Structure 1
Amino acid sequence: MDRKPSFSIIGAGKVGSALGVLLQELGYLPAAVYSRTFSHSKRLADQLQVAAAPHPAAAAAAAELVFITTTDREIAAMAAAIARQGGCRPGQIVFHASGALASDVLAPVRAQGAWAVSMHPLQSFTSTAGARANLPGSCFALEGDEPALERAIEIVKDLKGRYFVIQPEDKPLYHAAAVIASNYLVSLVHLSASIYRQLGLDEEQAMDALFPLIQGTINNIARSGPAGALTGPVARADGATLRGHLRALQKMDWRTQQAYRAMGLYTVGVAMENGNLTPNEAVAISNIFLEVDNHEQKSNYSRLPAYETGRHPHYHANRLRLSDGHLGRCFRYRRHPGGGLPR
């Protein structure tokens, strides 16, 4: 069996601490730990039975693999400090775990001959214990130098995870989608619970009431996909119910009302995608959310994207047939040779 390479952790927060412990359990060789907060550095270093390095370059110099798991705003400064103080060398691989930043932020270590890669887990972490439990089996977005990608893929496979490889310019859009799926899901649940609190339920009672619905919806999405799982008044073109909601929501603050309208408008597109709404119904329902009177709705297709009205769009999008037989807009991501997301 080939020897696993040595690694250092720079940034001993939730993700860095969990990753360090997991890599050690998988046979990778811990070399050093650095964190701006010495108590964090010492705690992880003691767990891994290595030294707490005095500065990031010392930690980086000790290992073949360097994981910068600081906050996003610190990554560039850490890479610059490592390069400036001679902590990187040709053949070494430097990782960062940011979802929003590309591997370009590691340009200083690249200039010294090291390879750079971003390895972002599509996962939510609220504690070190949670990160340690959730990292194995997660999906990772990878982007960077080819030799570094090969090593990142080995690590993902060791973690029993999945991965896909993206282009550096697509990191912000990729991260926006992840924020919607995770952070904004939290906000949507909070919004729903806050409305129930207006009815006299406390937060625990609201969550006890809502959680089975939330879990059931997630189960339906897993079985049928997001469009196939859609139910409710938008999917039924039930304008009377939606108007009733909007009247009732006038008791709430403006952010709640605007959030409901915005999500309703987006849901019209989902309902058209799964065939629940005709173009005429979609326009009528959209105009409810837009507060447009009935007499203004005649042939008002301009309020919907062209693809949702049945008309031909005015742009030319490359189209390709995906592996599941559906047509979709061309995208740049490709499964990396020898791996990728399993179907």
Structure 2
Amino acid sequence: MDDKKRVCISFIGAGKAGVSLGAYFRSKGLEISGYLSRSRKSAISAAELTSSKAFTALSDLAAASDIIIVSTPDGAIAEVWEELRKCDIRDRIVCHLSGSLSSDIFDGIAAKSSFGYSVHPMFAFSGKDGYFEGVEKACFTLEGAKEKLGEVREIFMRTGNRIFVIDKSKKALYHASNVMVSNLVTALLSIGTESFEKCGVKKEEAIEALLPLIRGNIENIAKKGFPGSLTGPVERNDTDTIMKHLDVMEEDERLIYSLLTKKLAKLSKVKHPGRDQSKLLELLEKNL
């Protein structure tokens, strides 16, 4: 991407990701041509936040853009592409922001002399008010046509974000990894909070009390890695305590607890390679 050439980026979809990224890109000196959305109100709002244009026709958006980012929900990407491919998009870079879908969703894009990519931000956007704090620390994963991959990478060289280029065949596994460390952690924290509530603590107080423990664990992982951050009964090989935990849990909770404890035992083995975990593992297998 030549610095002397003005590269215009447009967004189809004016939701949280599209608006936040547009505002972020603009703050880094990138040119935003505008937005098109099913909601005219949303497109106008996004355009105002990014000093760009609210388009009403795909053909106009395509004509004004070098890079077109489809920032709709995953289920709408194929539908948007079917309409976009009817436009003159020769030599355009077309991206989507899905974590689970690959660039293959842009079926037939090579025949349009265009280039398709998936560009996934490893970040949870909280609103569509143009607030993008924290995005500068986020990583992005890319995959797609080799021809203009360098130009897509150049966007993030300008913003300063770290990027990973992955194979399209790994998209589902990649997205599962993201879900496991974000959405599924939310579910696990919810289970833990509910258990604390059963001890007679109000929900709001339970969350507030547990947050320092949660934050401390994340900080320890960042500093020491997984084995080095281990504490608790698994790290001590305390089978008796783990048995007491399992005895007071519902069936589903016992299964989750046992599966995760089995994984923790493997991490603990790295830290304590000579330790005998046979009693612990036998207990866990009985609850799987």
- Output the TM-score relative to the length of structure 1: 0.78
Amino acid at match of 2:64: A
Find the counterpart in structure 1 of residue 216 from structure 2. Answer: 216
Contact in 2 for aligned 1:82/1:109 (Cα 8 Å):
no
Cα shift readout 1:222-247 (whole Å, capped 9, x = no counterpart): 11111221121112211100001111
The number of aligned residues is 286
1:166 maps to 2:161: no
**Partner of residue 254, structure 2:** 257
Residue number in structure 2 paired with 1:196? 196
What stretches of structure 2 of length at least 5 have no aligned partner? none
Opposite residue 285 of structure 2, the aligned amino acid is L
Give 2:89's aligned amino acid: C
CA 1:196 to 1:277, structure 2 compared with 1: closer, same or farther past 3 Å? farther
CA contact (8 A) 2:49 2:130 kept: no
Provide the rounded CA distance (Å) in 2 between the counterparts of 1:232 and 1:129.
Answer: 42
Q: 1:225 maps to which residue?
A: 225
How far has the Cα of 1:10 moved from its partner?
Answer: 0.6
Match of 2:283 in 1: 288
Give the C-alpha shift of residue 276 in structure 1.
5.4
Please give the secondary structure, in 2, of the residue aligned with 1:136.
Answer: helix
Shift of 1:51: 3.1
Please show how residues 176-187 of structure 1 align to structure 2 within 5 Å: 176-187=176-187
Distance 2:148 2:251 in 1: 48
Amino acid at match of 1:285: L
Which residue in 2 is equivalent to 1:101? Answer: 101
Aligned residue number for residue 23 of structure 1: 25
**1:273 aligned partner, one-letter code:** V
1:277 Cα deviation from its structure 2 partner? 6.2
Distance 2:66 2:254 in 1: 53
Q: How far apart are the structure 2 equivalents of 1:32 and 1:87?
A: 17
Find the counterpart in structure 2 of residue 13 from structure 1: 15
Aligned-residue sequence identity (percent) comes to 29
| Residue of structure 2 in register with 1:337 after alignment | none
C-alpha displacement of 1:284:
2.3
Q: Tell me which residue corresponds to 2:76.
A: 74
CA contact (8 A) 2:120 2:140 kept: yes
- Report what 1:310 is aligned to: none
Residues 120, 140 of structure 1: 8 Å contact kept: yes
TM-score with structure 2 setting the length: 0.92
Tell me which amino acid in the other structure corresponds to 1:78. Answer: V
Q: CA RMSD in A?
A: 2.0
Residue pair 1:15, 1:125 contacting (<8 A) in 2 also? yes
SS in 1 for 2:235: coil
Tell me which amino acid in the other structure corresponds to 1:166. Answer: I
